[in-house]
């Protein structure tokens, strides 16, 4: 699943396969009393059968870093027909690898917006100019930013791409160098930059 929530059909057994790209995390659903570690370099799993329709919080129960407090998601349990309708909107594994971002493709900006959600970017970067763990995206493109070393940089396509794949190379003053590097294809990078430019206004 590529997205901020997972949908499941009621009454059917589910095998949840989990993996982490960076550090130890947890997939914890308090309402079903289930918790499983996500361990870098291996796949963990657990089985369960959803028996109640509704939306349930998914939390990380492992202190995993500065963004831990914001690692929240949802598990939606629904009727089979609703689940199948949701499933049709999801990209296949091949589409995710190719970086198309959704089953229907969508525009470059739409694919970038989906990537920003999937990659967790919006957990640290605001869209409205509000303070966050990282700089806001509002009004950033075309702006000269002062960096922690005292130099300045123009926020253009090149800087945005560099900051996504090597975020600690040029850190904006007032922010800690804590953003993890993103591993994206060239197409995904282009889509994300297109979305950032659109979100900048």
- pLDDT level of residue 96 (50, 70, 90 thresholds): low
The residues near 34 (Cβ < 8 Å, ≥ 6 apart) are 27, 28, 46, 48
**Average pLDDT of the chain, as a whole number:** 86
The residues near 192 (Cβ < 8 Å, ≥ 6 apart) are 112, 115, 116, 119, 121, 164, 182, 184
Extract the tokens encoding 73. Answer: 């998601």
Residue with tokens 């000269």: 144
Element (H or E) spanning 97, and its range? Answer: helix 93-98
pTM over 0.85: no
CA distances from 114 to 117, 121, 183, 190 (A): 5, 10, 15, 13
pLDDT of residue 103: 46
- pLDDT tens-digit series, residues 100-156: 555 445 788 988 888 888 787 887 888 888 888 889 999 999 999 999 999 999 999
Q: What is the sign of the dihedral through the CA atoms of 198, 123, 159 and 152?
A: positive
DSSP string, 122-135: GGT--SSS---SS-
- pLDDT tens-digit series, residues 156-174: 999 999 999 999 999 999 9
Distance between CA atoms of residues 199 and 201, nearest Å: 5
Q: In terms of Cα–Cα distance, which of 19, 24, 34, 33 is closest to 63?
A: 24
Domains and CATH numbers, the chain: 5-88 (2.60.40.420), 99-200 (1.10.760.10)
Q: Determine contact, residues 82/2, Cβ cutoff 8 Å.
A: no
């Amino acid at each position: 699943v590529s997205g901020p929530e997972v949908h499941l059909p009621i009454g059917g057994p589910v095998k949840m396969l989990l993996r982490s790209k960076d550090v130890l995390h947890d997939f914890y659903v308090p309402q079903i009393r289930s918790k499983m570690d996500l361990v870098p370099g291996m796949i963990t799993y657990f089985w369960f059968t959803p028996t109640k329709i509704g939306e349930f919080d998914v939390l990380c129960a492992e202190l995993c870093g500065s963004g831990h407090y914001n690692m929240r998601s949802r598990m939606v349990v629904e009727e089979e027909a609703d689940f199948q309708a949701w499933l049709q909107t999801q990209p296949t594994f091949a589409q995710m690898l190719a970086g198309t971002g959704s089953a229907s493709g969508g525009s470059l900006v739409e694919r970038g917006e989906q990537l920003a959600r999937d990659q967790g970017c919006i957990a640290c970067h605001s869209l409205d100019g509000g303070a966050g763990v990282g700089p806001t995206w509002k009004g950033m493109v075309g702006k000269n930013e002062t960096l922690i070393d005292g130099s300045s940089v123009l926020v253009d396509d090149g800087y945005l791409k560099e900051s996504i794949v090597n975020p600690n190379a040029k850190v904006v003053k007032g922010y800690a160098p804590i953003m993890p590097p993103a591993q994206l294809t060239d197409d995904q990078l282009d889509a994300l930059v297109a979305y950032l430019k659109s979100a900048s206004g």
